[in-house]
């Protein structure tokens, strides 16, 4: 991720997160309206199987299976205790440049950790597959 990537920076702002909620299954009379979801830092990331999947643009935590009474802020805090965005005490527009860059540094840490975890998982899966091939060859040679 690059600080010059306007797309990533745009998601810091409520209006841009709200724009992602086309087709969101919950509306008026629910706690998890598009407005409340966007305020909590979520963007709508639906799939064919899960039309109610939402992900925090900051910590990348994905949640699905929303119920009408679910409070997005509470759910976000419960499922991602380390998210610096949901624990902000100020609006993004009120942050100093220094505060914003510190926050962005934390967001990039979340992204790097998620990518690293995925790479490690892929490596471990391939290592297990390779081990199985080697063991099968050793058994065949006996």
State how far the Cα of 85 lies from the Cα of 12, in Å rounded to an integer: 9
Is there a domain that residue 58 lies in?
yes
Is there a domain that residue 60 lies in?
yes
- In which domain, by residue range, is 56 found? 6-141
- Total of domains in the chain: 1
Give 78-114 pLDDT, tens digit per residue: 999 899 999 999 999 999 999 999 999 999 998 999 9
Is there a domain that residue 56 lies in?
yes
Q: Is the whole model's pTM more than 0.85, yes or no? A: no
Is there a domain that residue 1 lies in?
no
Place of tokens 């909620």: 21
pLDDT confidence band for 3 (50 / 70 / 90): very low
Read off the CATH number of the domain in which 93 is found: 1.10.1170.10
The distance of Cα 93 from the centroid of its chain, to the nearest Å, equals: 22
Buried/exposed 26-57: b ≥16 CB within 10 Å, e otherwise: beeebbbbbebbbebbbbbebeeeeebbbbbb
Question: Stretch 5-29: mean pLDDT, rounded?
Answer: 90
């Amino acid at each position: 991720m690059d600080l010059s990537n306007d797309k990533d920076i745009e998601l810091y702002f409520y209006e841009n997160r709200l724009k992602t909620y086309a087709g969101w299954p919950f509306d008026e009379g629910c706690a998890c309206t598009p407005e409340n979801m966007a305020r909590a830092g979520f963007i709508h990331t639906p799939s064919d199987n899960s039309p109610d999947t939402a992900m925090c643009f900051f910590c990348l935590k994905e949640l699905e299976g929303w119920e009408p009474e679910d409070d997005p802020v509470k759910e976000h805090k419960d499922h991602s205790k380390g998210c610096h965005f949901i624990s902000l005490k100020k609006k993004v527009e009120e942050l100093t440049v220094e505060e914003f860059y510190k926050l962005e540094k934390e967001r990039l840490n979340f992204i790097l950790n998620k990518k690293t975890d995925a790479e490690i998982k892929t490596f471990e899966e391939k290592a297990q597959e390779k081990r199985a091939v080697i063991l099968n060859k050793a058994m065949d040679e006996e």
